[in-house]
């Protein structure tokens, strides 16, 4: 640390404020806030750092501070300065001011529906939202305009338009509409947008049946299309809370140097959509989550309640957000946290699978060869194992040619009991079986073998190839102490760190995800098959032949559990069907 930084740290005040980090070109590279400037800034230079934080600290030549009255002021100032200077090491959420509300205009004559960007006229409009997905809001408005005969025209014409002739408008252009009629329509729309779609569906179903009975088949078809549209819209809002308030649920996930924050947006108990933000890891997970959540509300109204899964995150955001914040341990709220976290994990996986797909993969393979000091590996075989505490152990091989998966060449392997639970032993067994056969059948060999693991797995592969007298380069994908993939490890044990933002890193992550997905899928299939087989055992009257009949009729456990006694009795004797049904129900209760 240079003397300028040492002196600046000594002069730091024990007060809240904002700090600005500068590089040697006097460019601001990072801006942060602090409850105590002296403690916060000193942490960067007096504690060992890693990853992106270490890279940032190494470039800091000096820093400046701005003292504020409190931490809330510091947060607002921090956000304004970041938007002005756009420092390279800061991450800001995208501007979400375009997220729409559905508004019902109540003031004046002839109410109508519209999409608005701000909920700033509560006396004139009733608002629903905001909707995280703009297309969803427009789709719902289109549907409501079909169901409810409100005015559609921006300027009322002198003659009725097509909507009137289609029965979708009361035609205020030629008719004087009683206020009670409009009030009833608005109440129905409000109930629909608040989750009361069942009443509307009932009314439309009745109209459809009546039209069909009266042989007005075109009208019946139109009602059927409207019902299908309602199902389509409400399917996106299938998660419903019993508490009809506005809630936002936050959860995060991390992987290989990246951080994902997911938010589920509930309005009046309905899930209107989700948001997902993926950024590089920079601060501690709780600190990063808290910063992103507070940023999220700089351009949004607060809900009635915010739900987070971590007490530390709740503690950090409480001073900035004047709203109820809860950290559930059980019940419905905890289920919502799990759902949000599942979305965060899935979003990260999808990010790694889809990022950088337009890269020049052949040049990346050349780069990979340079890192490992081998010829360009145009064909790569990847291996992974899967088991659950030693049960149902499996291994798989996934093949990439020219950086593209060749699924017809994928292979699955059942691991012997001797190597169950032994990852190194399982790797040796799979590699030995695969390359013994390839050698015997004189098939083409890969240019590179990648195993999912450190030096132990690499050594296992090298040993197998040496015994088979095959010269194939081997590399592993090693992880750090946080179980995040950091780079490659070659046959000598040398670790080759990769830039987590580099195209090569994303290519290897896609390969790693694919082999892991294939192994897990195969393992789960075996487990399900064993569960299916075992549940049919020990049922009086259900022998092997009848078990085969049941498996043929119901290929999955989900299908079988849906079957009624009368349905099962068509295949097996009635009493045996009762015995099977009771066992299935008992199993469901235990689960």
What does the pLDDT average to over 234-244? 53
pLDDT tens digits for range 184-208: 777 877 777 766 666 777 888 888 8
Which residues partner with 102 through β-bridges? 115, 128
Select from 462, 414, 404 the least CA-distant residue to 435: 462
Confidence of residue 443 (pLDDT cuts 50, 70, 90): confident
Distance CA 195, CA 173 (A): 32
What does the pLDDT average to over 306-335? 89
Q: Is the pLDDT reported for residue 158 higher than 90? A: no
379-388 and 270-280 beta bridge pairing = unpaired
pLDDT tens digits for range 249-260: 999 988 877 888
Confidence of residue 377 (pLDDT cuts 50, 70, 90): very high
- The mean of the pLDDT values for the chain is 80
**Please, which residues have CB within 8 angstroms of residue 448's CB and are 6 or more apart in sequence?**
368, 372, 374, 377, 379, 380, 381, 472, 473, 474, 475
Which two structure tokens, joined as six digits, stand for 185?
């329509």
* Long-range contact pairs involving 164-167 (C-beta distance under 8 Å, separation at least 24): none
Q: 3-state SS string over 284-339?
A: CHHHHHHHHHHHHHHHCCCCCEEEECCHHHHHHHCCCCCCEEECCCCHHHHHHHHH
Confidence of residue 447 (pLDDT cuts 50, 70, 90): very high
Confidence of residue 498 (pLDDT cuts 50, 70, 90): confident
Confidence of residue 533 (pLDDT cuts 50, 70, 90): low
Distance CA 488, CA 495 (A): 6
Q: Is the pLDDT reported for residue 424 higher than 80? A: yes
pTM over 0.75: no
The predicted pLDDT at position 446 comes to 92
pLDDT tens digits for range 82-117: 877 778 787 666 555 556 788 887 766 677 788 887
The listed CATH number (3.40.50.720, 3.40.1440.10, 3.90.470.20, 3.40.50.300) that belongs to domain 3-85: 3.40.1440.10
Q: Read out DSSP for 493-520? A: --EEE--TTSHHHHHHHHHHHHHHHHHH
Q: Is the pLDDT reported for residue 288 higher than 60? A: yes
The predicted pLDDT at position 360 comes to 72
Select from 146, 154, 155 the least CA-distant residue to 115: 154
Confidence of residue 591 (pLDDT cuts 50, 70, 90): very low
Which CATH number is associated with domain 247-354?
3.30.420.340
Question: Is residue 290 within 8 Å of 309, Cβ to Cβ?
Answer: no
> What's the distance, CA 503 to chain centroid?
22
30 φ/ψ angles, rounded to the nearest 5 degrees = -160, 140
The predicted pLDDT at position 436 comes to 93
Class of domain 361-526: alpha beta
CATH 3.40.1440.10 domain span(s) along the chain: 3-85
Least confident of 250-264, 405-419, 546-560: 546-560
What does the pLDDT average to over 438-443? 88
Confidence of residue 313 (pLDDT cuts 50, 70, 90): very high
Q: Is the pLDDT reported for residue 238 higher than 50? A: no
The predicted pLDDT at position 520 comes to 85
The predicted pLDDT at position 537 comes to 72
Confidence of residue 324 (pLDDT cuts 50, 70, 90): very high
Confidence of residue 181 (pLDDT cuts 50, 70, 90): confident
CATH 3.30.420.340 domain span(s) along the chain: 247-354, 361-526
- Conformational region of residue 497, where left means phi above 0, alpha means psi within -120 to 50, and beta covers everything else: beta
Residue 433, judged by CB atoms within 10 A of its CB (0-12, 13-18, 19+), counts as: middle
The predicted pLDDT at position 11 comes to 79
**219 against 51, higher pLDDT:** 219
**Please, which residues have CB within 8 angstroms of residue 309's CB and are 6 or more apart in sequence?**
250, 251, 327, 328, 337, 340, 341
What does the pLDDT average to over 390-404? 82
Question: Is residue 73 within 8 Å of 16, Cβ to Cβ?
Answer: yes
Question: Is residue 28 within 8 Å of 22, Cβ to Cβ?
Answer: yes
Question: Is residue 260 within 8 Å of 292, Cβ to Cβ?
Answer: no
Distance CA 588, CA 63 (A): 62
**222 against 575, higher pLDDT:** 575
The listed CATH number (1.10.3720.10, 1.10.150.20, 2.102.10.10, 3.30.750.210) that belongs to domain 536-590: 1.10.150.20
Select from 183, 190, 148 the least CA-distant residue to 167: 148
Q: 3-state SS string over 225-294?
A: HHHHHHHHHHHCCCCECCCCCCEEEEEEEEECCEEEEEEEEEECCEEEEEEEEEEECCCCHHHHHHHHHH
Q: Is the pLDDT reported for residue 239 higher than 50? A: no
Percent of the chain with pLDDT over 70: 86
The predicted pLDDT at position 359 comes to 61
Q: 3-state SS string over 6-52?
A: HHHHHCCCCCCEEEEEECCCCCEEEEEEECCHHHHHHHHHHCCCCHH
Question: Is residue 323 within 8 Å of 250, Cβ to Cβ?
Answer: no
Q: Is the pLDDT reported for residue 550 higher than 90? A: no
The predicted pLDDT at position 590 comes to 47
What does the pLDDT average to over 535-544? 80
Q: Is the pLDDT reported for residue 479 higher than 90? A: no
Question: Is residue 74 within 8 Å of 86, Cβ to Cβ?
Answer: no
Q: Is the peptide bond before 44 cis (omega within 30 degrees of 0)?
A: no
What does the pLDDT average to over 8-30? 87
Question: Is residue 59 within 8 Å of 1, Cβ to Cβ?
Answer: no
For residue 336, the tally of other CB atoms under 10 A from its CB is 21
Q: Provide the 8-state DSSP code for 375.
A: S
**Please, which residues have CB within 8 angstroms of residue 515's CB and are 6 or more apart in sequence?**
382, 383, 384, 396, 397, 398, 452
Q: Read out DSSP for 440-478? A: HTTPPPPSEEEESSSHHHHHHHHHHHHHTT----EEEEE
17 φ/ψ angles, rounded to the nearest 5 degrees = 165, -165
The predicted pLDDT at position 389 comes to 53
**440 against 128, higher pLDDT:** 440
């Amino acid at each position: 640390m240079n003397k300028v930084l040492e002196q600046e740290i000594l002069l730091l005040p024990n007060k809240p404020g904002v700090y600005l980090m500068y590089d040697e070109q006097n460019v601001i590279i990072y801006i942060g806030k602090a409850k105590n400037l002296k403690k916060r800034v000193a942490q960067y230079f007096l504690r060992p750092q890693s990853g992106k934080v270490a890279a940032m600290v190494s470039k800091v030549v000096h820093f400046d501070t701005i003292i504020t009255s409190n931490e809330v002021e510091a947060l607002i100032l921090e956000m304004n300065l970041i938007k002005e200077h756009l420092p390279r090491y800061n991450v800001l959420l995208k501007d979400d001011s375009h997220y729409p509300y559905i508004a019902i205009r109540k003031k004046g004559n002839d109410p109508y529906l519209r999409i608005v960007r701000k909920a700033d006229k509560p006396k004139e409009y009733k608002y629903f939202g905001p909707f995280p997905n703009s297309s969803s809001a427009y789709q719902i408005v289109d549907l409501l305009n079909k169901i409810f005969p409100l005015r559609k025209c921006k300027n009322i014409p002198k003659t009725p338009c097509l909507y009137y002739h289609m029965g979708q408008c009361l035609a205020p252009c030629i008719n004087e509409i009683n206020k009670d009629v409009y009030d009833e329509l608005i109440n129905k729309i409000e109930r629909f947008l608040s989750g009361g779609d069942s009443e509307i569906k009932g009314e439309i179903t009745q109209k459809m049946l009546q039209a069909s009975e009266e042989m007005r088949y075109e009208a019946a078809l139109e009602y059927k299309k409207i019902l299908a549209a309602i199902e389509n819209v409400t399917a996106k809002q299938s998660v419903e809370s019993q508490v009809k308030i506005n809630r936002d649920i936050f959860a995060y996930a991390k992987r290989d140097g990246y951080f994902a924050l997911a938010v589920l947006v509930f309005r009046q108990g309905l899930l209107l959509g989700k948001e997902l933000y993926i950024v590089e890891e920079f601060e501690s997970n709780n600190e990063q989550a808290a910063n992103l959540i507070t940023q999220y509300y700089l351009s949004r109204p607060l809900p009635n309640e915010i739900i987070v899964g971590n007490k530390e995150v709740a503690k950090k955001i409480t001073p900035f957000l004047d709203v109820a914040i809860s950290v559930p341990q059980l019940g419905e709220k905890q289920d919502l946290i799990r759902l949000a976290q599942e979305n965060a994990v899935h979003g990260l996986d999808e990010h790694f699978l889809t990022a950088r797909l337009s890269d020049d993969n052949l040049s990346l393979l050349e780069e990979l060869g340079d890192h490992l000091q081998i010829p360009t590996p145009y064909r790569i075989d990847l291996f992974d194992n899967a088991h659950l505490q030693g049960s149902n152990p499996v291994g798989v091989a996934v093949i990439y040619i020219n950086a593209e998966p060749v699924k017809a060449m994928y292979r699955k392997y059942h691991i012997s009991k001797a190597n169950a639970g032994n990852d190194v032993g399982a790797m040796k067994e799979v590699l030995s079986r695969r390359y013994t056969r390839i050698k015997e059948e004189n098939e083409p060999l890969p240019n590179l073998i990648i195993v999912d693991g450190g030096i132990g797995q690499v050594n296992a592969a090298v040993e197998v190839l040496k015994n088979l007298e095959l010269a194939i380069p081997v590399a592993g994908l090693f992880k750090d102490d946080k179980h995040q993939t950091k780079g490659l490890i070659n046959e000598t044990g040398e670790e080759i760190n990769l830039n987590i933002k580099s195209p090569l890193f994303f290519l290897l992550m896609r390969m790693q995800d694919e082999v892991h997905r294939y192994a897990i899928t195969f393992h789960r299939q075996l487990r399900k098959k064993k569960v299916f087989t075992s549940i049919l055992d020990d049922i009086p009257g259900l022998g092997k032949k009848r078990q085969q009949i049941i498996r043929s009729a119901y290929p999955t456990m989900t299908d079988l559990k849906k079957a009624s006694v009368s349905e099962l009795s068509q295949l097996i004797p009635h009493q045996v069907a009762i015995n099977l049904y009771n066992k299935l129900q008992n199993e469901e209760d235990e689960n």
